[in-house]
Amino acid sequence: MNDPAARLLARIRAELGRGDGAATPGRPPSIEACRRVAADESCVAVFMEQGKRAVLMVREAGTADVAERVAEEIAAVSAKRVVVAGDAVTGPVLEEAAKRAGAVVVRRARTTRSGPMRR
């Protein structure tokens, strides 16, 4: 342990919570993964009113499974009236999800670029 480089690597392992040896990592994320992400991921946000109190945000999800996830979330908090915020693609998906969960969409808002709904 007299080698400063070995001491540095040992300190790093200690902070990473690993034992003595370096874990062999998998391959780093690749550009190909990015292309897939670009194809099916978009930003969505859902504001829900349960009584007057509950506010729920789903900040990011793939549009493919978002309707199902949002419907589950709405059902979980027994929301009756839902304010949906989404863009031209995600808005209709969210509205459909809310209706599927038996809630009434009382308002449709645009996603904003700042504040709590910021992507």
- Contact residues for other proteins (CB under 8 A)? 4-5, 7-9, 11-13, 15-16, 18, 22-25, 28-31, 33-34, 37-38, 41, 52-53, 113-115, 118-119
> Please, which residue, 110 or 118, has the CB nearer to other proteins?
118
**Helix 63-76 and helix 90-100, axial crossing angle in degrees, nearest 10:** 40
Q: What's the closest the beta carbon of residue 29 comes to other proteins, in angstroms? A: 4
> Please, which residue, 12 or 109, has the CB nearer to other proteins?
12
> Please, which residue, 34 or 75, has the CB nearer to other proteins?
34
Q: What's the closest the beta carbon of residue 117 comes to other proteins, in angstroms? A: 10
Q: What's the closest the beta carbon of residue 111 comes to other proteins, in angstroms? A: 13
